[in-house]
Amino acid sequence: MTITLSSMAKARVALLLALLLAINPLEASALHSLDKYLNSKHLASPGLLILNPLDGQIIAQNAPESLRVPASVLKLVSSTAALHFLGRERRYVTTIFTTGKENAYLIKGSLDPWMTSNLTLAKKNGQKYLPSLVSKANSENKKKLTIYYSSLFEKDRYDLNLNLKRKGIKATFKKVNAAKAKEIAQEEIASSTSLPLSEMIKFVNLYSDNTLANRLAMAAARKIGFERTSRGLTQTFKLALEEIGVNNEGLKAKDGSGLDKANRLSTQTVVELLVKIKDNPKYQAIYEGLPVAGKSGTLKKRFIEDGPEAAGLVKAKTGWLRNTVTLAGYVKSADKEYVFAIMADGITPTLSGRNKARAAMDRLLEAIVMGNH
If 0-12 CB within 10 Å is exposed, 13-18 middle and 19+ buried, where does residue 300 land?
middle
Q: Domain ends where: 195, 212, 243?
A: 195
Q: Given this model, what pLDDT does residue 293 score?
A: 98
Are residue 66 and residue 208 in the same domain, yes or no? yes
Residues spanned by the domain of 157 = 93-195
Residue 308 near residue 294, CB atoms below 8 Å: yes
Residue 109 lies in a domain: yes
Residue 216 lies in a domain: yes
Are residue 217 and residue 79 in the same domain, yes or no? yes
Tell me, what CATH number does 83's domain have?
3.40.710.10
Residues of the chain with confidence (pLDDT) below 70: 1-32, 372-373
Residue 330 lies in a domain: yes
Buried b (16+ CB within 10 A) or exposed e, 103-129: bbbbbbbbbbbbbbbeeeebeebebbb
Q: Given this model, what pLDDT does residue 373 score?
A: 61
Residue 356 lies in a domain: yes
Residue 94 near residue 147, CB atoms below 8 Å: no
Are residue 258 and residue 352 in the same domain, yes or no? yes
Are residue 231 and residue 172 in the same domain, yes or no? no
Are residue 344 and residue 315 in the same domain, yes or no? yes
Residue 135 lies in a domain: yes
Q: Given this model, what pLDDT does residue 162 score?
A: 97
Are residue 97 and residue 83 in the same domain, yes or no? no
φ, ψ of residue 194 in degrees (nearest 5): -70, 165
Tell me, what CATH number does 109's domain have?
3.50.80
Are residue 244 and residue 97 in the same domain, yes or no? no
Are residue 187 and residue 298 in the same domain, yes or no? no
Mean model confidence pLDDT for the chain: 92
Residue 217 lies in a domain: yes
pLDDT tens, position by position, 74-105: 999 999 999 999 999 999 999 999 999 999 99
Are residue 141 and residue 287 in the same domain, yes or no? no
Q: Domain ends where: 195, 214, 237?
A: 195
Residue 5 lies in a domain: no
Q: Given this model, what pLDDT does residue 35 score?
A: 85
Report the domain count for the chain: 2
Are residue 330 and residue 247 in the same domain, yes or no? yes
Are residue 248 and residue 306 in the same domain, yes or no? yes
Kindly list the distances between the CA atom of residue 202 and the CA atoms of 59, 80, 261, in Å, as whole numbers in the listed order: 28, 12, 24
Are residue 80 and residue 133 in the same domain, yes or no? no
